[in-house]
Structure formats: C-alpha cells, structure tokens
Amino acid sequence: MNTTAVLTNTTTQAPTLRKRPALTPARIGVYGLLISSAAFFLIPLYVMITTSLKPMEEIRLGNLFALPMHASFDAWVQAWSSACTGLNCEGIQVGFWNSVKIVLPSTAISIFFGALNGYALSFWRVKWAGWLFGILMFGAFVPYQVMIYPLVRTLANMHLFGTLPGIILIHTVFGMPVMTLLFRNYYAGVPVELFKAARIDGGGFWRIFFQLMLPMSLPIIAVAVIMQLTAIWNDFLFGLVFAGRENLPMTVQLNNVINSTTGERLYNVNMAATILTSLVPLTIYLLSGRWFVRGISAGAVKG
Amino acid sequence: MASTTLPGPSPRAARARRPWRSLGAQIALLPMAATVLFVYVGTLLWSMRISVSSSKVFPRDDFIGLTQYQRLFETERWNISLNHLVIFGVLFIGACLILGFLLAVFLDQRVRGEDVLRTIFLYPYAMSFVATGLVWQWMLNPQLGIQATVRAMGFPDFKFEWIVDQNMVLYTIVIAAVWQASGLVMAVLLAGLRGVDESLWHAARIDGVPRWRYYLSIVMPQLTPAFGTAFVLLSISVVKVFDVVVAMTQGGPGDASEVPAKFIMDNLFNRANIGLASAASTVMLLTVLALLLPWWYARAVQARKEGQR
C-alpha cells in the first residue's frame, strides 16, 4: 500500500527528461525502499564476513551482527588448509583445485562445441539439424534426475564414472543446449554476405569457422566464459554424483565440511569456507558487470 | 531482450540463408547428434523403461506395468515432498515476481547509484545454492543466530526458530531461495522496462493517469514476455530444487522439508530403489512438460501472428 502511495505522489511533480527529479517525500520513499532492500540483500554477506573473522569465544556470545572485537584471518587459514571432511583434514583447498581442474576444461570444451554447433546450424544446411536443435532445447528443461541413473551406468561401462574426464564430459553435455543457443543467436546476426564472400574465396567449412567466425565471436565468447565458469563452479549435483571421491568439487566439499562435522561446530571456519567457495563466482560477477546480465538473459532457457 | 534470445520457431528467412551443404558441417554436428540421441532421448527412454520394471538395487528387465507409480503415490514421503513443492513453488515464484518487479520499477525511477544497487540485488544469484543454504542455516540457527541476537538485545522471549520447527522450516527455504533469485527477476524485468516507450508515460500524464496506474495498466501488459521468461525460469528451478535443501536442512527436521529431487536422489543412491526413483523422475519430467507446453504453444502462436504481418 505504501508503495502505491509513493508512486502516486511522484505524479504531482514534473519529471523532466534526463534530469533527476527533485528530492520530494515520494523520492525519499523510493530511496527508502531501495535501501532497505539493499540491506536485506547485503546482511547475509555481512554476517558471513564478520563471523569468519571472529574467534569462537566471540561467536558464542550470540551477537550475530556485532563487528568482530579481535578480527583475524585464522579461520580462513584453517578453512583453506586444515578443515576436516570425515577423517580427511586437508582443508577446502583440495576442493578448490579439483574445481579448477573441472571448470577450466569443461568451460573450454563446452564453448568450443557451442560455437561449432551454432555456426553449423546458422550457415549450413544439414538434414535433421532443425529437429536435433529442437530436442536439444527441450533437453535444457528436463529435470536432471531423470537422466542421472542411466548416465551413471553408461559412464561406468565406459570406465569414466568417478573420473575427471567423466565429470568434464557431463558438464560439456549439459552445457551444450545453452551454449549452442547462445552462438546460434549470435551468428544469426552476422550478415550472410560476409559468409558468402568467404565461400566465393574458396573457404571450406572448417576454414571459415576457425579463421573468420571464431575471431569474430570474441564478445559472445566472453559472455559464454562468464556463464560457464559461474555455472560449473556452482554446480553441486553433478559433482556429487559423477566426480568421484578424488575429484569432489569445492561446493560438494564445502557441504561435507559443514554438514558432517562431529563435535563442536566451528562456525567461523564454516563461514570462511563458504566465502572462499563463493569468491570465484563473486569475483567474476563483480568484474564482468553488464556482461553477466547479458549471459543471464541469453541463458534464460537454462534455469 | 530476454525474449528475443529464446528459441522460437525458426523464421522462414533462415532457410534461404543456409543454401550450403558440406560434409564438414555434417561431421561437425555429430557430437551434438550423439548428445541429443544418447543423453537427451536415450536416458529418458531408459528411465521410463526402468520405471515399469521391478528394479531395486539392480535394474531388471521384467515388466510390471504401473505398479511402481502406484507404490510411489502410496509412499507418504513422496506425497509430502510433492505437497512441499507446491507450497514452496507458489510462495517462491510469487515472492520473487513481486519483489523483482518492485525492485525493477523503483530502480527505473532514475535513482542515484543505480549501478551499485543493481549489483547488490543480483550478487546472490552469482553464488551457489549450497553457499546460500549454508549462510541462511547459520543466520537462522536458534542458538547463535538471529533469535539469540534479538534476545541479547533485551527481548528474552523472542522466538524465531523456524529452521528447527517442522511446520515452519519450509518457509526458511523460501526466504533463502527468494534472497538468491529475486535479483534475477529484477534483471529480466528491468531489461523489459527499458524497452517500454517513454512517450507513453508523457501521454498518460497529460491524461492525468497516476504513476502507479501507469505501471499497472500500461507497463505491466507490455512486460508480459519478460514476466513469462521469469516465470518459466523460476518454475524450472522449483522443480529442480535440491542443493539449497541439502545444504540448509537436509530435508529435515524429519521429512518437514523433503522435496521430490531429493527423494529421487535418496532412492537412487541410498535406498536402492531404482524402479521407484525412476517412476518419480518420470513424474517430474511430465510436470515440467505440462508447464512448458502452454508456454511454447503461446510463443509459436505469437510467432505465427508476427510472421503474417
């Protein structure tokens, strides 16, 4: 009710184009709502950071929002190098490196196939390609649980279950719908005359792809890299099922560290581990800005 | 912006611009063909096949009709999880759409620091659901979290222990999920708002239309495609909801926050009930299809209309 009142009041003044309206009570209401929402969004981050900097004695006092009296990064060091999952006490760094090993190849390979598919679909005539693409798009919506058991069996038969190549293959396969869509849409905007000129110059399928299309695709490749890095880094389900004990990604290890501890829970270490796990996607997000948003709207089918 | 990137029926013009055939193109599309056939079609058929067999620990080749489905809907845990999914879905989607819309409209008022605010509203979306679940688990912890803090501030009778309360725990997951995903709705709707013709507002203002009425009656209908995109995105994530529950409550206390995706995973890997799990996953698939088909149909109809013009 408040908000409608605020909006009604803004009509009494005349907002001119370009210029910001003067600071009326209505404007203050707008800012009030925006700032309180910003607080709602920021509080968990604040709590995460302050908790991770407090020693356990301070945490036991039970004041969630208090600033740390004796801030230290001890919990971060412990989370990184000596936090335990079960009997294994090597810290979350193990998961970090596993995630790096999974994310980098998966990102590169899935983007390569996305670009290749998008290019072939946009410029070349291949029988059934339309049908295949349609089913691929449908695949983006299928709940993963339907596919998991058959995939586990198939990968086990191929001796890929619980291996690094196995999980990379899984990410490539599940990244394919969005990546293909992204590049197909991008190439649809490329003038066909350019492609025809390359054909007349005698370019074949692969030559046009590698020497003309890929170099032209840098902006969309950047979007794709942002999308895939974030999505694969944040993946939990596939890592849990397919990566195997040796390659558990950081998200899975984080969950294990926090939800399987016996004895006293070290909340500061837990929060430090959570921050460390989120640091990679958050950094990507903050650095990429509007590109990230572009990826969201392009990846809208992914869900 | 969002809607243009979604797959629609390919325009007729596209056929004319692809006159080229090549062996290279066919070879290049082989990995995609293999993915589609083996992963997206093959596994679905395989799962459906298992769902009509008596498989327990290992898959069996027998055929027992719809017995697994019957068993499924006689399993209390499954029915509870479906019930939770409906409650979660309605609240989560509703709250995300309302909050996301308000944020987008308010950000659209030429406010100072728009970029900073937008960054703040969207950053949770960059985090993993696991991290989100763990942070909220910590804040809602009755011994040391918000409850303890408010009590220490001089309200010793303050109670906020939803996360350990069987009747309330589901709502804590809604809060965490809304916190993570409403920024996405804001981003999608803001892109839509920027596409609304500014002169409409000038015309409306001359006619004496109040600003809220302008947003409700003129802007909202124009945002229908953006709302549709946001709705579909949110619905899909509702059906898939798994990570945040595992991280936050592990389905508990008891089965008070059990969800279908977790039910399926438990039966696949911990309870050796492959047949039952496959039946459950087939039900999930059909649910998604039931959500998608009307949306796709509407888009196809709309695309045809535009094609005729």
Measure B98 CA to nearest chain A CA, in Å: 12
Report whether A247 contacts A53 (CB < 8 A).
no
Q: Which CATH superfamily is domain B71-308 in?
A: MetI-like (1.10.3720.10)
pLDDT tens series, chain A, 303 aa: 333 333 333 333 444 445 666 778 888 888 999 999 999 999 999 999 999 999 988 888 878 888 888 888 988 998 898 888 777 788 889 999 999 999 999 999 999 999 999 999 999 988 888 899 989 988 878 888 889 999 999 999 999 999 999 999 999 999 999 899 999 989 988 898 999 899 888 888 999 999 999 999 998 999 999 999 999 999 999 999 999 888 999 999 999 888 876 667 888 999 999 999 999 999 999 998 778 887 776 655 433
Interface test with B, best of A46, A85, A146 (most B CBs within 10 A): A146
Nearest by CB: A51 against B109, B138, B288: B138
Contact list in A for residue B18 (CB cut-off 8 A) is 122-125
Q: Are A292 and B183 a contacting pair at CB < 8 A? A: no
d(CA A168, CA A155): 12
Contact B101, B183 (CB under 8 A): no
| DSSP annotation of B173 | H
> How many other CB atoms are there within 10 angstroms of residue A283's CB atom?
11
* Interface contacts (A, B; CB < 8 Å): 308
Nearest CA distance, A139 vs chain B (angstrom): 6
Question: Contact A44/B136, CB-based, under 8 Å?
Answer: yes
- Cα Dmax for chain A: 76
Strand partners, B20: A124
pLDDT score, position A257: 87
| CB A180, CB A136: distance < 8 Å | yes
Which residues in chain A have their CB less than 8 angstroms from residue B151's CB? 62
CB A256 within 8 A of CB B130: no
Residue A61 dihedral angles phi and psi, to the nearest 5°? -65, -20
* CB-CB neighbors (< 8 A) of A45 in chain B: 123
Q: Is the domain defined by A93-301 classed in CATH 1.10.3720.10?
A: yes
| Cβ contact, residue pair A296, B292, below 8 Å | no
Instruction: Give residue limits of the domains in chain A.
Output: 2-72, 93-301
Distance from CA of A285 to the nearest CA of B (A): 6
| Stretches in chain B below the pLDDT threshold 70 | 1-20, 307-309
**Chain B nearest C-alpha distance from A290 (Å):** 9
DSSP state of A244: -
Q: How far is CA B102 from the centre of its chain?
A: 19
B191 contacts in chain A (CB < 8 Å): 293, 297
How far, in whole angstroms, is CA B295 from its chain's centroid? 15
pLDDT for res B92:
97
- For residue A118, CA distances in Å to A185, A196, A288, B32 come to 8, 17, 24, 10
Paired residues of A124 in beta bridges: B20
Closest CA relative to residue A236, chosen from A224, A248, A244:
A248
Contact B110 A278 (CB under 8 A): no
Percent of chain B with pLDDT over 70: 93
Cβ distance of B236 and A303 shorter than 8 Å: yes
Pairwise CA distance, residues B143 & B161, whole Å: 9
ipTM: 0.85
Return left, alpha or beta for A23; rule: phi > 0 is left, psi -120 to 50 is alpha, else beta: beta
Which one of B7, B32, B242 has the shortest CB-CB distance to A117?
A: B32
CB contact (8 A) between residue B211 and residue A7? yes
Query: What residues contact residue B193 under an 8 Å CB cut-off, 6+ apart?
Result: B104, B105, B108, B219, B223
Cβ of A192 within 8 Å of Cβ of B47? The answer is no
Which of A131, A142, A211 is the best mutation test for B, with the most CBs of B within 10 A?
A142
Question: Against a cut of 0.90, is the pTM above it?
Answer: no
Best residue of A144, A149, A209 to probe chain B, by most B CBs closer than 10 Å: A149
Q: Does the distance separating the beta carbons of A206 and B2 come in below 8 Å?
A: no
Contacts of residue B179 in chain A, CB cutoff 8 Å?
40-41, 44
B170 Cβ partners below 8 Å, 6+ apart?
A: B84, B87, B88, B256, B257
Give residue limits of the domains in chain B.
71-308
Query: Phi, psi (5° rounding) for residue A69?
Result: -80, -40
Residues 6+ away with beta carbon under 8 Å from A65: A46, A47, A50, B149
